[in-house]
């Protein structure tokens, strides 16, 4: 089968060959359990895990002791949110969570589940460009608020929130601040040393590492109480995440962090140029519009809506040559406009015919030229009443 050109790097990325190579010894020869203290099998695995912890910490400017490995960002986010809200020593009366309407389901559904358990929540709206209004953030934080969760970069539009200002508002109010940085880590510089962020979630498969591994960063001394662990068991990861460590996955995450740190500057420049080429070519076509703030966004992403095309046929036809999606994987199943675009005030029809283009390390100039050609001819075939 001739596979389409992959322009869906926000959904997942291929594993970097260097990452795979680093992982391989830990399946067969160095297969030890990192918790085995009495023989070299265990020591080798533990050394590899601690090296990966350093690599991960280095990429985001954290200390290795602030990194907790999880099965991915969904788990890291659950651990952060539930870990704080269900903590035994959480200050009494602080039972309120503030988040944003355009967050990933991992955050929204976790907060909703906690509402069912008696916690209260505020879902902040966003402006037309996808950014939160800082006045709304300030107004939502009360003396009851325990946690504010605002993502770094949106997975559908690439819009990057003003973390610095948001974090400062949280600090002033004594509210813990968590950010889902899955789409940003390895793509734009993220240094927790410079950011008033207390917890941060990341996932290896979004930046050329393997699937099923991620991490939660927890600032040392910031939650003044121990987070509530989701899993009970052997007390791995300093009691926060029980379960035998996924050594090959952790090694892969560490390597992916190292490689990303090396490539980030060049890739940012290269991909933003390719993205701009793609975007400006598409914007010449009738009825097209970019969704989201044009300045504050990831270098490799553009979300574009197309007027007057039947959404379902449009995406099927596009995917014959380019692998793209309209918003996140879940919203393409329900065929409703994504919650992100709707929160930005985009109409149902326009939202359904929106396409997220996510470029990546393998994307070439030739790919972009083919994509533009294909989009343009497909649009000519399907567009009814271009405005």
Ligand X SMILES: *Cc1c(COP(=O)(O)O)cnc(C)c1O
What residues are annotated to the active site?
330
156 scored as a contact of ligand X (CB under 6 A): no
Stretch that binds ligand X, among 166-174, 175-183, 246-254, 293-301 (CB under 6 A): 175-183
| Tokens (6 digits) for 296 | 């504050």
In angstroms, what is the minimal distance from the CB of 25 to ligand X? 24
Three-state SS at 264:
helix
| Tokens (6 digits) for 200 | 């941060």
288 scored as a contact of ligand X (CB under 6 A): no
Please name every residue paired with 148 in a beta bridge, in sequence order, or none if there are none: 98, 177
Mutual orientation of helices 365-382 and 247-283 as an angle, nearest 10°?
60
Name which of 104 and 350 has its Cβ closer to ligand X: 104
x/- letters, 216..245, toward ligand X (CB under 6 A): ------------------------------
186 scored as a contact of ligand X (CB under 6 A): no
Distances (CA, A) of 16 to 182, 186, 358, 361: 17, 13, 17, 9
Name which of 9 and 94 has its Cβ closer to ligand X: 9
Which of 55, 179, 183, 293 is in the footprint of ligand X by CB under 6 A? Answer: 183
Which of 8, 57, 72, 317 is in the footprint of ligand X by CB under 6 A? Answer: 72
CB 246 within 8 A of CB 71: yes
Which of 90, 96, 187, 206 is in the footprint of ligand X by CB under 6 A? Answer: 206
Name which of 90 and 241 has its Cβ closer to ligand X: 241
Site size for ligand X (CB under 6 A): 13
Name which of 76 and 315 has its Cβ closer to ligand X: 76
158 scored as a contact of ligand X (CB under 6 A): no
Helix or strand holding residue 33 (H, E)? none
182 scored as a contact of ligand X (CB under 6 A): yes
Name which of 69 and 306 has its Cβ closer to ligand X: 69
3-state secondary structure 281-347: HHHCCCCEEECCCCCCECCCEEEEEECCCCHHHHHHHHCCCEECECCCHHHHHHCCCCHHHHHCCCC
What's the CA gap between 45 and 30, in Å, rounded? 7
102 scored as a contact of ligand X (CB under 6 A): no
What's the CA gap between 311 and 334, in Å, rounded? 12
The residue number whose beta carbon is nearest to ligand X equals: 72
| Tokens (6 digits) for 54 | 């350093």
In angstroms, what is the minimal distance from the CB of 72 to ligand X? 3
Q: How many CB atoms lie within 10 A of CB 135?
A: 9
What's the CA gap between 100 and 123, in Å, rounded? 5
Which of 94, 104, 270, 275 is in the footprint of ligand X by CB under 6 A? Answer: 104
**Binding residues for ligand X (CB under 6 A):** 72-74, 104, 106, 151, 155, 180, 182-183, 203, 206, 214
């Amino acid at each position: 089968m001739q596979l389409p050109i992959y322009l869906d790097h926000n959904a997942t990325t291929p594993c970097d060959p260097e990452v795979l190579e680093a992982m391989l010894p830990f399946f067969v020869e160095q297969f030890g359990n990192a918790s085995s203290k009495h023989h070299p099998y265990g020591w080798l695995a533990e050394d590899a895990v601690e090296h990966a912890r350093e690599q991960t910490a280095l990429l985001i400017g954290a200390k290795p002791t602030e990194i907790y490995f999880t099965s991915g960002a969904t788990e890291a986010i659950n651990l952060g949110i539930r870990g704080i809200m269900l903590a035994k020593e959480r200050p009494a009366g602080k039972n309120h969570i503030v988040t944003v309407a355009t967050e990933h389901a991992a955050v929204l559904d976790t907060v909703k589940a906690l509402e069912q358990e008696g916690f209260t929540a505020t879902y902040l709206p966003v402006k037309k460009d996808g950014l939160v209004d800082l006045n709304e953030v300030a107004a939502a934080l009360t003396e009851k608020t325990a946690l504010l969760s605002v993502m770094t970069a949106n997975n559908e539009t690439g819009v990057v929130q003003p973390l610095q200002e948001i974090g400062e508002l949280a600090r002033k109010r004594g509210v813990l601040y968590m950010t889902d940085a899955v789409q940003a880590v390895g793509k734009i510089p993220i240094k927790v040393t410079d950011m008033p962020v207390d917890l941060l979630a990341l996932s290896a498969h979004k930046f050329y590492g393997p699937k099923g591994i991620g991490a939660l960063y927890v600032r040392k001394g910031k939650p003044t109480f121990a987070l509530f662990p989701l899993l009970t068991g052997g007390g791995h990861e300093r009691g926060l995440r029980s379960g035998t460590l996924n050594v090959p996955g952790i090694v892969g995450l560490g390597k992916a962090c190292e490689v990303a740190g090396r490539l980030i500057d060049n890739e940012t420049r290269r991909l933003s140029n390719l993205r701009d080429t793609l975007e400006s070519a598409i914007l010449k076509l009738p009825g097209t519009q970019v969704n989201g703030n044009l300045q504050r966004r990831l270098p490799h992403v553009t979300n574009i809506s197309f007027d007057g095309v039947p959404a379902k046929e449009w995406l099927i036809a596009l995917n014959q040559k380019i692998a793209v999606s309209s918003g996140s994987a879940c919203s393409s199943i329900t065929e409703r406009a994504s919650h992100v675009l709707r929160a930005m005030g985009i109409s149902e029809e326009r939202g359904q015919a929106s396409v997220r283009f996510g470029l990546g390390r393998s994307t070439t100039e030739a790919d972009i030229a083919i994509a533009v050609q294909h989009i343009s001819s497909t649009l000519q075939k399907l567009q009814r009443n271009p405005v």
